[in-house]
Amino acid sequence: MSHNIYVYILVMAGVTYLIRMLPLVLFRREITSPFVKSFLYYVPYACLAAMTFPAILFSTASVISAVVGFAVALIAAYKEKSLLTVALCACAAVFVAERILEIVA
């Protein structure tokens, strides 16, 4: 590594913090535009959904176990289980699916 690792860390942390800080600090007025308000209301759902799918399919050792984990997480989330419960159910499902795949294969 020819570059200094601490400079890398400083750059990473600095850029990331500025992105988070500037809108919060500079933008204090109440937004009245219905379009902007609606846009901001939909942002987290669009963003989290885009990050989840299709990335989830390639997060585990095999696509099949990932699909099982995805399906179980969807069901648990639909039943409005807590964040941790949904996450653990998904992990358990992947684990079980991969053990079964091992036996079958």
Site for another protein in 38-57 (CB under 8 A): 38-56
71 scored as a contact of another protein (CB under 8 A): no
Task: Give phi and psi for 50, each to the nearest 5.
Answer: -65, -35
104 scored as a contact of another protein (CB under 8 A): no
Any alpha helices (H) in the chain, and if so which ranges?
5-26, 34-52, 63-78, 83-104
* Chain residues 11-40 in contact with another protein, contact rule CB under 8 A: 11-13, 15-17, 19-25, 27-28, 30-31, 34-40
Contact 89, 76 (CB under 8 A): yes
Please identify which residue in 94, 100, 104, 105 interacts with another protein, judged by CB under 8 A: 94
80 scored as a contact of another protein (CB under 8 A): yes
8 scored as a contact of another protein (CB under 8 A): yes
Tokens of 90: 């998904």
Please identify which residue in 63, 76, 104, 105 interacts with another protein, judged by CB under 8 A: 76
Q: State whether the Cα torsion 73-77-79-82 is positive or negative.
A: positive
